[in-house]
Amino acid sequence: MRTWRVMKYLRAIQSAALMTFRQNVFDMFIIFGVLIQPLIIATLALWMIGDRVGETIVFIVVGSGMTGLWTNLLFESGNSITQERWTGTLEMLAATPTPMPVIVFGKNLANVSQSLGSMFVCYSFVSWVFGYQVTIEHPLLFIVSLGMTVIAFVCFGLIIAPIFLLNPSVQRWQNALEYPVYILCGFLFPIALLPGWTTPFSYILPPYWAARALHDASSGGTNTSEIVFSIAMLVVCSLISLIISRTLFRIMLRKVRQDATLGLQ
C-alpha cells in the first residue's frame, strides 16, 4: 500500500516537473535569471578581481552559478502557488488527491534543476570567453554536493511558497531578499569577511551550506571531512525544511479554504 502511494507521488512529482519545464521554456524572466544575470555577475567579479583571479576562478564560477540558483528559487518556487492562484489552477490542484506539497516539490525540482544551467553557462563563459582553466579538485564530492544542493533548494522552496501565499506583504520584499542571500551565503566572497554577528544567519540558510560544499569540492582548499560536513548540513537543512513546510502547507490550505481565497483573481 505504502509503495503504491510512493509510486503515485513520484509520478505526480515527475509530471509537475515536466509541466513546469514545458511552461518555463517560454518564460523570458527565467531565461534572464538563469542564463544572463549569472554571466553579468561573473563578468563583474572577473573585472573587479583583475589580475589576482588565479585560484579564485572556481569561486567565481560556482558563486555566479549559485546566484542563478537562488534567484530562480526565490522568484519561481516562491511564486509557484501564488501564480497558480492567479491563473485559477490552484483550485483544480487543491481538489486533486495529490497533496499540494508533492505538486510544489515537483515544480521546485524543475525550477532548481534548470537553474543548474547557470553553473554550466558560467563555466563555459570563463573557460571559452576569458580563457581561464577551471578544474574541479574533488569531482565525485562536487557531484554529490550539486545533487544535495538541488534537494536542499527544492525543500527550502517548500517553505518559501506557502509563506509568500500566506503573507503577501513578505512577497513585496522579494526583490530585496535576492542580494542579502548572495552576501550572507558567501556566493562571491567568504563570509569570514562579514561582521561576526551575521554568521548565525548564514548558518541557518541552506544556500550557505550549498555554496560552501560546492566551493570546497571544486577548489580543494579544505580536507574532505569539511566537505562531507557541509553535505551533511544540507541533509539536515532539507529535513528541517520538510518538517516546517508540512506545517506551513497545512496552515495555508486550511486558511485559504476558510477565507475563500483559493480561487482569488
Partner 1 sequence: MNAIEIRNLRRVFKTTIGIIRRKTKEVIAVDDISFSVPQGSLFGLLGPNGAGKTTTVKMLTTLLIPTAGSARVLGYDVVRRADAIRGRIGFIFGGERGLYWRLSGINNLRYFASLYHVDPEVSDKRIPYLLDLVGLEDRGQERVEGYSRGMKQRLHIARTLLHDPEVLFLDEPTMGLDPVGARELRQVIRNLQAEKKTILLTTHYMFEADALCERIAVIDRGRIVAMDTPEGLKHLVSDLSVIEIEVFGLPEDTLAKLRQLPFIDTINVEDHDQRQLLLAHSPSGSEAVPELLAAMDGVRVGKVVVREPTLEDAYVRLVGES
Which residues are at the interface with partner 1 (CB under 8 A)? 8, 11-12, 14-16, 18-19, 22-23, 26, 87-89, 91-98, 103, 254, 257-258, 260, 262-263, 265
Residue 62 three-state SS: helix
Residue 188 three-state SS: coil
State the sign of the Cα–Cα–Cα–Cα dihedral 12, 15, 21, 22: negative
**Nearer of residues 106 and 207 to partner 1, judged by Cβ:** 106
Q: Supply the minimum distance, in Å, between the C-beta of residue 93 and partner 1.
A: 7
**Nearer of residues 96 and 223 to partner 1, judged by Cβ:** 96
Place of cell 482569488: 264
Q: How far apart are CA 36 and CA 199, in angstroms?
A: 30
**Nearer of residues 23 and 198 to partner 1, judged by Cβ:** 23
Q: How far apart are CA 163 and CA 78, in angstroms?
A: 8
Q: Supply the minimum distance, in Å, between the C-beta of residue 257 and partner 1.
A: 5
**Nearer of residues 23 and 167 to partner 1, judged by Cβ:** 23
Q: How far apart are CA 14 and CA 53, in angstroms?
A: 41
Q: Supply the minimum distance, in Å, between the C-beta of residue 254 and partner 1.
A: 8
Kindly give the residue spans of alpha helices, DSSP state H, lying in the chain.
2-24, 28-31, 37-49, 56-72, 80-87, 89-94, 100-124, 139-166, 168-171, 178-184, 199-203, 206-219, 224-259
Q: Supply the minimum distance, in Å, between the C-beta of residue 186 and partner 1.
A: 36
State the sign of the Cα–Cα–Cα–Cα dihedral 187, 190, 194, 198: positive
Q: How far apart are CA 252 and CA 100, in angstroms?
A: 10
Q: Supply the minimum distance, in Å, between the C-beta of residue 256 and partner 1.
A: 9
**Nearer of residues 51 and 259 to partner 1, judged by Cβ:** 259
Q: Supply the minimum distance, in Å, between the C-beta of residue 261 and partner 1.
A: 10
**Nearer of residues 19 and 242 to partner 1, judged by Cβ:** 19
